[in-house]
Amino acid sequence: MNQIIRSYLNAHIKEYGVEKYGPADAFEHFINKCIINRVTSERFDPQDVMTEKGEIGLDGVAIIVNNQLITDMDVCHAIFDQKRKVTIKFVFIQAKTSESFDGGDMSIFLKGVKHFFEPEDVRPATNAKMENLIKIKNYIYEKAIEQSSKPFLEMYYVCCGKWNEGNNLSNNYKTDVRFFEESGDFSTVEFFPYDSEKIITTYNEMRRKISRTFTMEKRLPFYSMPGVSVAYFGLIRCKDLARLLMDDHGELFNNIFEDNVRDFQGYNPVNSEIRTTLLDEKDQERFSVLNNGITIIAKNIETAGDIISIFDYQIVNGCQTSRVIFDNKEMLTDNSWVLSKVIQVENEDVLDRIVYTSNRQTEVKYEAFSSANRFHKTLQEYYASIQPEYRLYYERRSKQYDMDATINKYRIVSLAGQTFAYIAMFLNEPHSVNRYYGELLEAYKKRLYGKDDCVEPYYISAYYLYFIELAIKQNQIDKKFKSFKYHICCAMRALTCSSKLHRGNSKEIKKEAQDLIALIQDPMRFQRELHTACTCVENTINASGDIPADIRFRSRDFTFRLLKEVEKFTSTRNSDEHLCVGQIVSCQVTALRLYNIEVELRTDDGRKRGSIHISNIANRYIQNISDEAQLGEILQAKIITEFNAQTYGWGLSLILD
């Protein structure tokens, strides 16, 4: 690979802390991030895209449903249950560090894609991770009758060399593309031979280190205002807007909508009306007065006459208009314009305010604005105040830290991740977090992110989840616990504090969070508590044979049993009654009587009283007890009768054998 790609790869390795990976695996991780980042709007772990050892021909497999990477069947169910239009994309990746495209490897890659879609009785045996993805694929096709369009198929063969369109390899892959097209299972089938130039371009697009230049005629500058470096109001030709939305492949550049509060809503009545306007030649010329327009935020704006250049830009309002214009770009004329605001802000507070107010007039779902309220800003500031050793980064807006190469990406907490962690740990519902997080936000909106909520429980729940996931990645915890990571979070709070629920703004929940923070600052105690939590989970698994193995982690009854297991252990651990018959203990002489020695046991057990009868002092005749012991003397004695068996407490013996 060339020096530029190597530098990008090294930066990626540091960001994700995957230094232990071999060169090939690290490159696969890097390429999976670059490519899948283009087609998903949510933060994801590239490890979830990577295939496991033994998978031949495929280095990455991703199922994208409504711009979200899906690896869990329950989440897939939740999306389909919303009865909205669903867009599906299957993405397959093969990544090679070599500097030449290999026809044999390319054929193996395409064969691996074919196997993924083959019936079970035909395809080769594979691993559990791939079988899970195949089950999701099968479910998607079962639901095909409910969808207006078929899934899209994209295949990426990535190589660090240079692709020549005139080579014989083109004919090879085009034959396989026709095979998929003729199957009738896909809306479109695309094969991308990705060379070094495309790797560099895709990485820069991911970082949003891109610029676009366009004409903004008859623009007006805004007056000077605090927090805004420069702002213009005017008209942008619809054709130019379509080019702003397009990446170097001619596809929609999803990254520029990350600060928009809503994804594209499909062709609902409003968007259908926008499309109708564009399809009518006269209405298209009137588009600027028939449409509310768009708002573009850029990190830098430069002007030269009517020409404007923008760098690192986002469309924060007008996602619907933009998407309809992009979808119908072939119909656009030179006489259609869209009303636009182009703004360069000085800080994120101003950006948040613009995002919120420019979208508030339209109906937006609760989850879209949930990260825009003041609590989330306070929470982000709290995260930033944590000492570096324990610092995480709260991401209020999707992928907002992607451009910062100094941040370990596994330390970034998304809104979805924060929601899951808090519900699992402080609401005792780890079984509920396998649902679509937007659905959870709606269901728990009265118990989450209250304006007066304490911020500490949110941070500490995310930190415990981060640490547990890291321990699983580093094999400090058995990988069998991966499905129960939220249950471990729940168990650790119950072990350290209790399982009792508290209001989000209460003194009790803040005190619990502080106790949990103190625990992570004592690494040895934290590790022991983590192992105890894992043991409680394992004991619950072993005792839950009546609950099918594949649904235990989402079973309310399993969570109830886990908390009972934790309660049983903590009750035993907190008890000061740990002495029993047969133990040898230290005791101090408190009185010498005619026939017995009264003692007090040197123990933290509350039952300290005891007595040694003359017959249990030695295996010989005792004439005078005072010859055998002295007041205050420390003796080693064996417990021979229960504490409550006599009025004097424990019955003890100095005869130890």
If phi > 0 it is left, if psi is from -120 to 50 it is alpha, else beta; for residue 67 that is left
Place 368 in a pLDDT band, splitting at 50, 70 and 90.
Answer: very low
Q: Binning pLDDT at 50, 70 and 90, where does residue 403 land?
A: low
- Can you give the pLDDT at residue 261? 47
Please enumerate in sequence order all residues whose Cβ is within 8 A of that of 360, keeping only pairs 6 or more positions apart, or say none.
369
- Which is more confidently placed, 317 or 641? 641
CB 288 within 8 A of CB 278: no
* pLDDT given at position 305: 81
Q: Output 373 or 361, whichever has higher pLDDT.
A: 373
In whole numbers, what is the pLDDT of the chain averaged over residues? 85
Parallel, antiparallel, or unpaired: how do β-strands 294-304 and 228-237 relate? unpaired
Residues 6 or more apart whose Cβ sits within 8 Å of residue 286: 277
Highest mean pLDDT among 305-314, 350-359, 568-577: 305-314
Per-residue pLDDT at 359: 55
In this predicted structure, what is the pLDDT of residue 253?
73
Percent of the chain's residues with pLDDT above 90: 32
DSSP code for 96: E
Contacts of 299 (CB under 8 A, 6+ apart): 311, 312, 313, 344
What pLDDT score was predicted for residue 469? Answer: 92
Confidence category of residue 149, pLDDT binned at 50, 70, 90: confident
3-class secondary structure per residue, 362-392: CCCCHHHHHCCCHHHHHHHHHHHHCCHHHCC
Residue 76 banded pLDDT, cuts 50, 70, 90: confident
Rg (CA), the chain: 33
Tell me how far apart the alpha carbons of residues 327 and 271 are, in angstroms, rounded to a whole number: 11
- Candidate ranges 14-28, 170-184, 318-332, 492-506; pick with highest mean pLDDT: 492-506
- Residue whose C-alpha is closest to residue 191's, from 203, 206, 180: 180
Residue with tokens 């992928």: 399
Please report the pLDDT score of residue 258 as a whole number.
Answer: 59
Distances (CA, A) of 152 to 88, 287, 404, 450, 554: 6, 31, 32, 40, 31
What average pLDDT score do residues 43-51 get?
Answer: 88
Average pLDDT over residues 640-650: 87
What is the mean pLDDT of the segment spanning 170-189?
85
Q: Higher confidence at residue 655 or residue 407?
A: 655
Tell me what pLDDT residue 263 has: 57
Tokens of 497: 């504090």
For the stretch 583-624, pLDDT in tens is 999 999 999 999 999 999 998 888 899 999 999 999 999 999
Check residue 366 and give its pLDDT: 42
Name the E strands within 160-306.
189-194, 211-221, 228-237, 294-304
* Cα 352 to Cα 370: distance, rounded to the nearest angstrom: 12
Q: Which of 196-200, 513-517, 574-578 has the lowest mean pLDDT?
A: 574-578
What integer pLDDT is reported at residue 519 of this predicted model?
A: 93
**How many C-beta atoms lie closer than 10 Å to residue 375's C-beta?**
19
> Which residue, 207, 218, 187, 221, is CA-closest to 255?
207
Return the pLDDT at 619: 92
Domain ranges of the chain: 3-206, 211-364, 368-574, 584-653
Question: Residue 501 phi/psi, 5° resolution?
Answer: -90, 145
pLDDT band at 259 (very low <50, low <70, confident <90, very high): low
For residues 90 and 352, the model is more confident at 90
More confident residue, 471 or 256: 471
pLDDT-derived band at 216 (thresholds 50, 70, 90) equals: confident
Three-point CA angle 554, 78, 482, nearest 5°? 35
3-class SS at 350? Answer: helix
Q: What is the mean pLDDT of residues 226-251?
A: 85
Residue indicated by tokens 């937006």: 364
What sections of 264-304 are H helices per DSSP?
A: 269-279, 281-285, 287-290
* 3-class DSSP assignment, residue 352: helix
502 within 8 A of 513, measured Cβ to Cβ: no
**Fold classification of 584-653 (topology level):** OB fold (Dihydrolipoamide Acetyltransferase, E2P) (2.40.50)
Single-letter amino acid code for the residue at 253: F
pLDDT, tens digit, 9 for 90 and up, residues 84-117? 778 889 999 999 988 888 888 888 888 888 998 8
pLDDT for residue 364: 40
Q: Beta-carbon neighbour count of residue 79 at 10 Å?
A: 20
Residue 369 has pLDDT above 60, yes or no: no
The whole-number pLDDT of residue 625 equals 92
Position 11 pLDDT exceeds 70: yes
Contact predicate 106/92, CB 8 Å: no
Q: What is the mean pLDDT of residues 41-47?
A: 83
Own/partner pairs, 142-151, CB within 8 angstroms, 24+ separation: 143/80, 143/86, 146/80, 147/85, 147/86, 147/88, 148/85, 149/87, 149/187, 150/185, 150/186, 150/187, 151/88, 151/89, 151/90, 151/185, 151/186, 151/187
Contact 235, 339 (CB under 8 A): yes
76 or 260: which carries more pLDDT confidence?
Answer: 76
pLDDT tens column, 496-540: 999 999 999 999 999 999 999 999 999 989 998 999 999 999 999
User: For residue 83, what pLDDT band results from cuts at 50, 70 and 90?
Assistant: low
